[in-house]
Structure 1
Amino acid sequence: MVSFAAAGAISLTISNWNRFSANPTVVSIEKDYRNWENDIPAVTGCFNDKVDIKKADKYILEKWKIKLGHPKYDHYMDFIKLVANLSYENLYYFEKFKNDVDLHNVDMAQLTFDVHPDITGSLVTVDKTRKFKWNVILIELGICFTFFSKLSQVFTIKNKEYLNETENIDNNLLKCHYLNGLCYARFDSDPTLPIKYYVHSYMEVPDISTRQYHELGKGWDMEINYRMVETLTSPNIRFNDEPTLKNFFNYSIGLCQMACRYKLAMTFCGCKPYFYQIFGKVVYFSIKELRLDGVYCILPRNIYEIFYSDSEI
């Protein structure tokens, strides 16, 4: 009987060791539930239209010395709207501007900053002792604003005009006890500006592949309830195949894919869209750089669609 027990113990030990060697992950459940507090999800808002027409009028007047009614006014306004709402999905619309030499050296990032609508609103949370504010960031979706995200400090816009609007990053994000049924955050924004809201992890930001969002039209109200499920790991745990990303203090699938798209842009074209300010030195691409040997270098088929194929990143 003792022999069978010893053999069973040895067999179980060997089995557990082999499983740990193949996949060195230990799963445990914390039982001090009376002390559990969760970081609430981060929220990122992006205007549907990132152009303030009055600001665009001013930009056209200062840049090209023309006003409304001029034959080229609509041409330049279309260019501004395209740049301000730039994404991988609309790059081919630049074809109509390729022969306009007045647009070849436009600083697209500065143009976007100059014409973006003012971000206004008030944020109210369950924590009455602290005053939270949005953080203005620049991501693949363009200029957006976010709450309760630890990545705010990475994606904060490197532009003096917006630095004054962005609060110092608060690493002590809003937490709620898991039994608190009154944990909430409410943001009252400009009722005339439709916004897309993305709810995500506080260790992530939305990117071009993010498809889940809540859209609020003019004057809309929306209330959303979430059930929190949080999985944590030791900060010392890292798998060998996780890529290391400069400037990032954590790893996620979204950040990894974003870095891959940046690398592809640099590989194909030697330039990058202005929203990749976080990766190395900023290189603003111009209309000239959108073509390579007569073919567009940065196109959805080269960078965007590769993430929706069976190709390995």
Structure 2
Amino acid sequence: MQMYSPYSQYSLGETRPRPRPRPKNRWPVSVARSCVRCGKEFCLFTTIHGFNHIAVPGRHWTERVLWVCLTVGAIWGAIGVSLGQWQRYNENPTVVTLEKDFRTWMFNMPAITVCSKDRVDPKKLEKTITKYWGVNQLDAKYEYYSQFVSTVANSDLFHLQEYETYKNDESLNVDLYQLAVDVMPEFLVKPSWVHGLDIKWTPTMTELGACYVTNSVAIADTAIV
């Protein structure tokens, strides 16, 4: 009779190989890594303010923790406000409104500034040239002074290069502000107001040149008298 022994296939002095250990279940680690990777990509590419500072490279860990706390606090506050509004709506969905007749409202008239496209009145042009330089339409230099007056009256802060033509003429050393006002056309539009205010247009100098203004608190500083 032959007996079988499990150790008969190994000689003396040899050890039996140990069975390979079964691999541990690593799915929680894989899930955690996937969540971290997805969260990092979300923080880097989202347009929501604050998330980008959490995952952007080059930040100190304390700054990342600070932004995590701020972001969590903001989300918690938004959820709290939303739930509070939802609870209020469920408990008392009545909307309270205040009605008032707008026709009885009392408020001040706004300031108005009007700038004409052509700021030279042909009827005032000849009188103004005669006043400053003593020439009339028959004089040879009348056209020269006429162009200068048009340049002054229609100039603004963004188009001052035309003054280069006249920079060496000493006869043009006059009050340019007053010159622009002297040729301004009369503004005949009269606005109305429910409270019956007396509207008066006042010449003023703005970045767009000589204009008319009314009911402005800055008239005392910008008006051309």
TM-score (norm 2): 0.48
> By percentage of residues, which structure has more strand?
1
Q: Which has the larger radius of gyration?
A: 2
- Larger RCO (alpha carbons 8 Å, 6+ apart): 1
